[in-house]
Structure 1
Amino acid sequence: MRYSFCPKCGGHLELNEAKDETKPYCTACGFVFYQNPAVGVAAIIMRDKKILLGRRIGGVYEGKWCIPCGYVEWDEDVYEAARREFAEETGLFITIRGVYTVHSNFHNPNQHTVGIWFMAEEAGGELAAGDDLDAVGFFGYDELPELAFPTDKLVLQQLKQENQLC
């Protein structure tokens, strides 16, 4: 069980009769502590059949590359989150064309996330790394750097199979 105390009253959390670790309950107030995944968003920008990737700074993924991404904030629309995160990390403004794919991410045992990858087009700005990235660049499939996230690899393989990535 990941947590021992109730976020509402501070009481002790215990497992229910089914021993379901994703739904401990508070012995003091009865609150059920559902542990749901966080939502992440990423935007795919292509130039000449190459994809824009960013190199991460800080944390366990430092120095590895990813499709520019981030978390959806509380009370934020997923489309707006994708536009905001992309601008923060790349300096580019984008227009979302649609959802490309969705995957569950299990690479971090402490945080289950669901990722939404959007197809997008550039709509202005200046390409420059920012926020969680220290470098950005366009890559073909055969020149991909070391990737941070296994699900990005799935997305890149799909783009390659669909002949969208050279």
Structure 2
Amino acid sequence: MEQRFFYCPKCGGNLKYKQYRERPRLVCLKCSYVFYENPAVGVAAIVLNKDKQILLGRRSTKLVDVSHQTSDVRRKKQTNSLTIPTTGDRRPTTLNKRLWCIPCGYVEYDEDVYQAVVREFKEETNLDIVLKGVFTVQSNFHNPELHTVGVWFMAKVMGGELQAGDDLDQLAYCNLADPPPLAFPTDKVVLDMLAKVFNTPFLEEK
């Protein structure tokens, strides 16, 4: 595993991989603090219309790309449209700009996971939702810089006016079997799962 963190958050000492119990872990050479590299938690809300199309958002071109930074630089920094797009280049880019995704985001450190998905969906779509249950939980390994565990919730719109915001610059209801170019491979897994079960009572509007 490529080392991503180099300084101890406790004392500022150097971190180095050492065998610790069942696997190599980053250990501070000064104070022996064990730095656990755990995945971040992401949340996404699945909203379907009456035609069983899913609401997707296009990732904004204004996202900042820091992938060009070298390891040394990273060390120093460690302390409203509804138009369906035409099929284009499906190769992922660093930040997946102009590719589409299920509206999603990260859970804050002091935030409840259920509150997080409602907040993130509001920020990206301007819609108020009520959650209907967890649809699936998946591990995401597509970004080597940040592994995540994603929780996809089924949701129903209760209010608000559809408008793209935050990381998204466009929104559209899309067919499950024929989505626009997707930013994240796990979203394709989720869409395939939805396509198989969308007629079940779990997904029906209540």
Provide the TM-score with structure 1 as the length reference.
Answer: 0.94
CA–CA distance in structure 2, aligned partners of residues 119 and 102 of structure 1: 12
Matched, 1:94 2:139: no
| More moved, 82-91 vs 23-32 | 23-32
Matched, 1:109 2:109: no
Matched, 1:75 2:110: yes
- Of the three residues 33, 36, 45, the one matched with 2:35 is 33
- Of the three residues 5, 12, 36, the one matched with 2:14 is 12
Q: Which runs of 5+ in 1 are unaligned?
A: none
Structure 1 vs Structure 2 CA RMSD: 1.6
* Paired residue secondary structure (1:143): coil
| Aligned residue identity for 1:34 | Y
* Paired residue secondary structure (2:18): coil
CA–CA distance in structure 1, aligned partners of residues 129 and 151 of structure 2: 16
* Paired residue secondary structure (2:10): coil
Q: Which runs of 5+ in 2 are unaligned?
A: 66-94
1:50-78 per-residue CA deviation (whole Å, 9 max, x = no partner) reads: 00000001252110000000000011001
Provide the TM-score with structure 2 as the length reference.
Answer: 0.76
The offset of 1:27, in angstroms, is 1.2
The offset of 1:163, in angstroms, is 3.4
CA–CA distance in structure 2, aligned partners of residues 106 and 135 of structure 1: 26
**Residue in structure 2 matched with residue 45 of structure 1 by the alignment:** 47
- Of the three residues 136, 150, 159, the one matched with 2:185 is 150
CA–CA distance in structure 2, aligned partners of residues 160 and 151 of structure 1: 14
The offset of 1:104, in angstroms, is 0.2
**Residue in structure 2 matched with residue 62 of structure 1 by the alignment:** 97
The offset of 1:9, in angstroms, is 0.8
**Residue in structure 1 matched with residue 169 of structure 2 by the alignment:** 134
Moved over 2 A (4+): 17-21
The offset of 1:16, in angstroms, is 1.8
Across the two proteins, how many residue pairs are aligned to each other?
164
- Which structure exhibits the higher relative contact order, with contacts defined as CA atoms closer than 8 Å and separated by 6 or more residues? 2
| Aligned residue identity for 1:53 | L
* Paired residue secondary structure (1:35): coil
Identity of aligned residues (%): 57
CA contact (8 A) 2:135 2:153 kept: yes
